[in-house]
Amino acid sequence: MKHIARWIMLYTVLVFISCKQSPSKDIKARIQQQEPFWKNRTTMQNNITQEKIFPIPSDTTITEHRTNRIYLRSKNCQYEVFVNDVSLFKLMGPITKGGGGATGAHDMNQLLLTSGEHEVRVLMYPRHGLQIFPAKEGYMGLEFYYFLNRDLRTKRYNEKMNGNNGIELSQSDEQWISEYDYADQVALDGKYEPKEPAPLEGLPVYEWRSTFTAEVPFDIVGWRKSVDLKEEFEDKEEDLENELFNAYKKVHAIIKKRDVAGYLELVKEREELITTCLLYKEDEKPKREKEFVNLLTNEDYEVEPLFFETFKLEYQAYGKLVMFLHKADSEGVIRLKNKKDPKDVIFLDFRFQRKEKGDGFTVI
């Protein structure tokens, strides 16, 4: 009987192990492929010396409804753009393999939080499949501007960030420079003028940063006074990862249960911040909320399981925010997959803060 009991116990353990979920072979292969990327990115992050924390608020108070944006253009590179050390936009992965890029405008009021001096930071990487930048490759353009009352005809460029010509990060030693006709909102004839080439060739990652001034009609605390988690968990990062993983599991459970009320309560502070900063009208807020509800209740999508071994800890906002990024693609780890089309995956990003020492993590 003892032998039978031992055999049953062993069989139970083996069944449990065999049934335990783990990342697919494809995910494991993609993670292995990305190891050099994470090594280079981590080295770059560790070498950063941050002398100032942004934003640096000004005494300026405006009442006009300004929407501040950065217009991004890219070619032959992967990249990440941060405003005040919070991710604004990224373009990564196979889409860049053939040299393709992305062009588009991105709101940044929700990262400014207040009027004053702000920091923009760009991390550029070789296009997917390359370890270092070849000669002549890598291009990014950034244009800084604002407009009033959602009317693009009122657009005004930030002249200290090179106006309508913007910032060009490339190996070229010249840039097309033109004047801008604000009356007709068109660029006039111009010419190539000398510029400092970015030293991209031979690098696995290139960092560029600058500061700029922007004004908004609000002053929101957001995460600015939250606990510095990088400092709190210095030499105790494993404890932070465990606590953060538990926070993600709570989010995952809410989404898996399709708990609409629980989800809306979870993201309440974040949504209030975003809709305030992006100057939503009162009748527009329910429409945004409905988009989340529709996604959460859509039976065509199911939330993918969480695998701790696939996560990479990420600090943002100078240590005030934490999150996990997926080692396979550097996107968010909460993912909704279309049951009918496994290639259709929606990434849900969550940033966590600790408002006061002793508090738990909250989404913002």
Which segment of 2-6, 276-280, 336-340 scores lowest on mean pLDDT?
Answer: 2-6
- CA-CA distance, 207 to 203, in Å (whole number)? 10
Spatial distance between the Cα atoms of 100 and 114, rounded to a whole number of angstroms: 35
Stated as kind and residue range, the H or E segment containing 334 is strand 334-338
For position 226, what pLDDT does the model report? 98
* Cis-peptide, bond into residue 55, ω within 30° of zero: yes
The β-bridge partners of 116 are 57, 214
- Secondary structure element (H or E) that encloses residue 256, with its range: helix 237-256
Residues 102-137: pLDDT tens digits? 999 999 999 999 999 999 999 999 999 999 999 999
The Cα diameter of the chain in Å comes to 93
How far apart (Å, rounded) are the C-alpha atoms in residues 130 and 326? 20
Tell me, what's the pLDDT at 7?
Answer: 46
- Confirm if 316 and 82 have CB atoms less than 8 A apart: yes
Determine the angle formed by the axes of helices 285-296 and 268-277, rounding to 10 degrees: 140
CA–CA distance, 196 with 198 (Å, rounded to integer): 6
What pLDDT shows up at residue 298?
Answer: 97
pLDDT attached to residue 332: 97
175-194: pLDDT as tens digits: 999 999 999 999 999 999 99
The type of residue at 79 is Y
Dihedral sign from CA coordinates of 312, 351, 296, 260: positive
**Does pLDDT of 12 surpass 70?**
no
pTM of the model: 0.93
In angstroms, rounded to a whole number, what is the distance separating the alpha carbons of residues 183 and 215?
23
d(CA 284, CA 216): 20
Is the pLDDT confidence value at 47 over 90? no
Give the pLDDT score at 61.
Answer: 77
Nearest to 81 by CA among 95, 53, 102: 102
Residue 60 banded pLDDT, cuts 50, 70, 90: confident
Whether residue 98 has pLDDT greater than 60: yes
Distances (CA, A) of 313 to 141, 245, 352: 29, 10, 12
Q: What is the pLDDT of residue 157?
A: 98
